[in-house]
Amino acid sequence: VDMAEVFAADLDGDGDDDYVWGASATGSLLDTRVSSPWTFLGGAAEGAAGFPLLRPIVGTLQPSSPTLLSVERAPASTLVLAWLSFSSAPFDALGGTVHAFPFANQFLFGTSPAGELSLSTTWPMGVPPGFNIYFQFLVDDPPTLHGITMSNGLRGTAQ
């Protein structure tokens, strides 16, 4: 475990930073200081820039609250396919584990020259508390064995 990986983000929406630490190279969350609606599921496959990391920056998953997800450690200026699912039937693929399956929807984006991507939205009204949503990103990564890699899976639970 790479304990140098410490992330600060306002996970509970109270205006101050909460800390997530102990994220392994595959994005598995080991410990947090706060109760978060987000669960790191692991499953990332190593790419040319390392293991792509999908993480929440902001997101209480309460009605009308802002939600911001970030992908880091992806190749510069490359295509990223965002998968969204409302259930999870994990399976191994591309050297990792697909968690956001079966897909409910997918969206195509591009990373910045720094190999990063940030996506923001407002959490919708009417989503019942306890409802789960799964995210995972497939990344175009030509130098890898399969030419693609994927981020860790991330589950959000509506509050």
115-148 residues labelled b (16+ CB within 10 A) or e (exposed): bebebeeebeeeeeeeeebbbbbbbbbeebeeeb
- pLDDT for 30: 42
Q: Give the mean model confidence (pLDDT) for residues 88-117.
A: 96
Alpha-carbon radius of gyration of the chain: 15
Mean pLDDT of the chain: 85
- pLDDT for 22: 44
The strand pairing partners of 81, in sequence order, are 108, 138
pLDDT-derived band at 11 (thresholds 50, 70, 90) equals low
- pLDDT for 66: 95
Instruction: State if pTM tops 0.85.
Output: no
Q: Is residue 31 over pLDDT 90?
A: no
Contact 122, 64 (CB under 8 A): yes
In this predicted model, what pLDDT tens digit does every residue of 41-62 receive, in sequence order? 999 999 999 999 999 988 999 9
Q: Give the mean model confidence (pLDDT) for residues 70-84.
A: 96
E strands, 64-116, are 66-72, 79-85, 91-93, 96-98, 105-110
